[in-house]
Amino acid sequence: MYCVHIYIINRKISVTFDLEKQYSRNPRTEKDMRKHLYYLIASMLIITISLNARTNYNYKKLQRENLGRGVVAIRKDASTVTISWRYLSSDPMDTEFNVYRNGEKITSQPVSTGTLYNDAYTSRNAATYEVRPVVKGKETNHKNGRYTLPANAPTGYIRIPMNKPANGVTPAGDTYTYSPNDASIGDIDGDGEYEIILKWDPSNSHDNA
């Protein structure tokens, strides 16, 4: 009889075998058991190698973006404004946040379950929101963030101004225009906030296909 014991501890597999040979009247049965045992051992080795073959990052040496708090406020509906912000890699794990509107704190308790807060704000006037980190019960000035919700802000989105290129004219005298196409983001100027890099697609462009 072949008994196999498999233990998985801390992502490591330990395999032990108890081999007790019992003579069989059918040699083929004994041969098949050995064959299956070899397959099992090979499978365990493959799994062990797969679990241990992972990248070992040195997180202390990873280059991190020097980003700001990234506060954004969007009108959710006629009576609610949703404020969101970034949790930074430099923030302690137990960081909480206070939210202010026009300099007045509007959170009765620091936000501790995420980086989002819904403010009951019905006025259509502009409002400046500020997020301040709280560590061990005390506010810090570690990358506070601000965002001003404009007056009469639209519901469900924010307006982003674009610098549309002027219309062009082909050598044949045909006029073409530009429309927004692919976009990406990145902190190009190092101010801690993302810029949008937008590709403008001319109306006379053609697919390579």
Contact yes or no for 70/89 (Cβ under 8 A):
no
Which fold, 72-149?
Answer: Immunoglobulin-like (2.60.40)
Q: Give the side-chain half-sphere CA count within 13 A for 31.
A: 3
| SS3 track for the chain | CEEEEEEEECCEEEEEEEECCCCCCCHHHHHHHHHHHHHHHHHHHHHHHHHHCCCCCCHHHCCCCCCCCCCEEEEEECCEEEEECCCCCCCCCCCEEEEEECCEECCCCCECCCCEEEEECCCCCCEEEEEEEEECCEECCCCCEEEEECCCCCECCCCCCCCCCCCEECCCCCEECEEEEEEEEECCCCCCCCEEEEEEEECCCCCCC
> Residue 139: which of 97, 104, 88, 102 has the closest Cα?
97
More confident residue, 154 or 48: 154
Residue 169 has pLDDT above 60, yes or no: yes
User: Residue 119: what pLDDT?
Assistant: 98
pLDDT range class, residue 39, cuts 50, 70, 90: confident
Domain ranges for the chain, please list them: 2-52, 72-149, 168-202
Query: Can you list the pairs that 3-9 forms with residues at least 24 positions away whose Cβ atoms lie under 8 Å?
Result: 4/37, 4/40, 6/44
Separation of alpha carbons 156 and 23, rounded Å:
77
User: Residue 22: what pLDDT?
Assistant: 47
Separation of alpha carbons 209 and 204, rounded Å:
15
Residue 5 has pLDDT above 80, yes or no: no
Q: What is the pLDDT of residues 83-109, one digit of tens each?
A: 999 999 889 999 999 999 999 999 999
- Mean pLDDT over the full length of the chain: 84
Separation of alpha carbons 106 and 112, rounded Å:
15
Separation of alpha carbons 110 and 91, rounded Å:
15
Mean predicted confidence (pLDDT) in 61-79: 91
User: Residue 23: what pLDDT?
Assistant: 43
Q: What is the pTM of this model?
A: 0.67
Q: What is the pLDDT of residues 18-36, one digit of tens each?
A: 544 444 455 556 666 677 7
User: Residue 89: what pLDDT?
Assistant: 87
Contact yes or no for 156/76 (Cβ under 8 A):
yes
User: Residue 49: what pLDDT?
Assistant: 61
Contact yes or no for 67/85 (Cβ under 8 A):
no
Residue 11 has pLDDT above 60, yes or no: no
